[in-house]
Amino acid sequence: MTEQAGPRELVGHAVAAEAAGFDFAVMSDHFSPWLTSQGHAPNAWATLGAVSQATSVIELMTYVTCPIMRYHPTVVAQQAATVGLLSEGRFTLGLGAGENLNEHVVGRGWPPVNVRHEMLVEAVDIISALFSGEYVNTAGKHFRVDSAKLWDVPERRVPIAMAVSGAQSVSTFAPLTDHMVAVEPDADLVSQWDSTRAEHGGGRDPGSRKIGQIPICWDADREAAIARAHDQFRWFAGGWKVNAELPGPAGFAGATQFVRESDVADSIPCGPEVEPIVKAVSAFWEAGFTDIALIQIGGDTQDAFTGFAERELLPALREASA
């Protein structure tokens, strides 16, 4: 998470993850941390460029980029194509409708969710058209593109993964993108995603991936892990309908002031044990997800967590999910 470490440290984390045997690495794309205690927010795209050169086999992905306000979709397309080339085809562009936390900084206000989805549909269409390497001109309700062309595009088109949260977003974006991103192990989302894609001819990639995420807080001391998770990740308790609307760390601190450490411990695996993590992650593969991003809470503990993952966690997860 770009909110938990500086850019040089993040590059080091990616290198260590590749050496430990992780299959893919995802990177949040934020202008601000959720909570002040997280303390970081470097530029994701500059960091990804460095990661692409410091690693060689691990897949890379934005998790996720909002292409409707802080970035114009033409800029996102250029960034994604460039990282696709730098990584020699290891990059997936993860997209979502964004959060007020990051997008308000350009001073355009924060539109309601139905408008954000309208904007996101237009943005996906623009990005997909630009990935062809041809000239693109469009005058939509929200975006205008005037004679835009990407001069450097990878031979393998950059796949697009879309963050979804319910039936409406699935029905809208399953036909337009390649892979699904979700934060809850919801089997209905998976089945609807697959059935919607089948109805539309499978889209561009019939082998569509369903990518989930789960926060965990590893530490040799379970109480220390719970305290750190509460300090840095209690914002997660609000849910995305709330999280998308709050404008800054002070708002998240206020909204979560009554979240207790016990609440966090009940919802996030904390401590040194493998089994609680495997149990929590198993809900995703049982729901039909193909990939899972493990979000370790606390940048200062990432190296220790990576060692634990290599020795114990990854083997246990692969055995349990076989």
Query: What amino acid positions are annotated as catalytic residues?
Result: 30, 99
**Residue of 43, 94, 103 whose CA lies nearest to 69:** 103
How far is Cα 183 from Cα 165, in angstroms, rounded to an integer?
8
How far is Cα 125 from Cα 131, in angstroms, rounded to an integer?
10
φ, ψ for residue 190 (rounded to 5)?
Answer: -65, -50
How far is Cα 235 from Cα 255, in angstroms, rounded to an integer?
8
